[in-house]
Amino acid sequence: MYAIQLVEPSLTAFRRTSLPDPQPAAGEVLIRLRAAALNYIDVAVATGSFPGATLPMVPVADGAGEVVALGADVTDIAIGDRVVPHFMPDWLDGPMRPERIAAMRGITLPGSLSEYVAVPAKSVVRLPDHLDFVQGATLPIAATTAWNAVRSASVRPGSTVVILGTGGVSLFALQFAKASGATVILVSSSDEKLEHGRALGADHLVNYRATPDWDKAVLEITHGRGADLVVETVGDATFARSLNAAAMGGTVFTVGFLSGVTTSVNLFSIIGKALRVVGNSTGSVADLGEAVRAIAANRIVPVVDRRFEIDETATAYAELAAGSRHFGKLAIVLD
């Protein structure tokens, strides 16, 4: 089979190669991969910033394809099923545990930039009928994370949700929040992206370049109450404002560190308002299954900014590493 390998820690060190076709063991399925989608963890792996990867390796955590062969004892998946394999195939359900997250596709296991991959049958989720393979490839990390965000705050009609940025997790959170009946305040530095967010259902738009005190804008919009949920995707530069923008008893769901991983926090802002600060590193196969069912029920369509060919892998990585130019997800179409 053909594959793309990362041969050294560099955004330009991708090489097309030929590898032996994998064979599904007992309890596994063989997937003919059709698309992959990038996350910032893929850039961290490619630049040597994420531990655990042994090079050369097949990168990219997220992908989608169809089942072409079954290992022994597989009964609930059929040949021809369109599926997405979970990023961490051993984390089937329940809370995060070290033994459940040790195996990671695109890091310690072969990723999605190959013609075929064999994975445990219990780690795959069927793709909703209304999505194509590229859209399906965006689901495992970003949709699962966003689903856990809205679930962490029990978002419902009447809830207010603040979303920072317009990357994959942010836009899935926007779509899930609107499907739950919430009012959404979208914060971005780009008026163009904010208008795209309005088209997805955002109720209020705040440009943080024009309004640096965006947390105060949130308080004004909510008549001083604040937001039930703040989806914090940035890190140090915005964390204090996210705490200020949250309502009493609200949740700050923190998943990003684009502006840095170290921050200074006024504990009174957490204690005084009885806030819940929830860290997240995606979720289980069961969480992905719930997210996919919500996507199917509400006919949610993932936002894909650009689709690259597999020989444009380095270009796709460079685009993601550049930061804020894209709106939604970046995907790679396999041959």
CB 241 within 8 A of CB 208: no
Q: What angle do CA 15, 316, 326 make, to 5 degrees?
A: 170
pLDDT exceeds 60 at position 316: yes
Pairing mode, strands 28-37 and 62-70: antiparallel
Instruction: Please state the φ and ψ torsions of residue 268, each to the nearest 5 degrees.
Output: -65, -30
Assign residue 191 the CATH number of its domain.
3.40.50.720
Distance CA 244, CA 296 (A): 35
Instruction: Tell me: do 155 and 273 sit in the same domain.
Output: yes
21 in the same domain as 77: yes
**pLDDT at residue 12, rounded to an integer:** 94
Which residue has better confidence, 268 or 131? 131
Q: Of all residues in the chain, what percent carry a pLDDT higher than 70?
A: 97
Rounded mean pLDDT, 120-138: 98
Q: What is the arithmetic mean of pLDDT over 285-290? A: 98
Residue 237: pLDDT band with limits 50, 70, 90: confident
Query: What pTM did the predictor assign?
Result: 0.94
Which residue range is the domain that position 93 belongs to? 2-138+302-333
Omega before residue 56 within 30° of 0, cis: yes
Domain count, the chain: 2
- Examine the domain organization and report whether 160 and 272 are in the same domain: yes
My answer on whether 134 and 148 are in the same domain is no
Q: How many whole angstroms from its chain centre is CA 304?
A: 12
Which tokens is 27 given? 């309890």
Within this chain, do residues 235 and 274 fall inside the same structural domain, yes or no? yes
Q: Tell whether 120 and 155 lie within a shared domain.
A: no
What is residue 259's predicted lDDT score, i.e. its pLDDT? 45
Residues 75-82: what's their mean pLDDT?
A: 96
Q: Which of 48-52, 90-94, 174-178, 274-278 has the lowest mean pLDDT?
A: 48-52
Same domain, 150 and 127: no
pLDDT of 263 over the 70 cut = no
- 275 and 174 in a single domain? The answer is yes
pLDDT at 266 over 70: yes
* Pair (173, 273) in one structural domain: yes
Helices (H), 32-155: 40-46, 98-101, 133-137, 144-152
- What integer is the mean pLDDT of 254-267? 68
Boundary residue ending a domain (264, 279, 294)? 279
Average pLDDT over residues 211-238: 92
Is residue 295 in a domain? Answer: no
Of 105-109, 113-117, 262-266, 305-309, the range with the lowest mean pLDDT is 262-266
106 & 162 share domain: no
Average pLDDT over residues 118-142: 98
Residue 169 lies in a domain: yes
Could you tell me what percent of the chain has a pLDDT over 90?
88
* Mean pLDDT estimate for the chain: 94
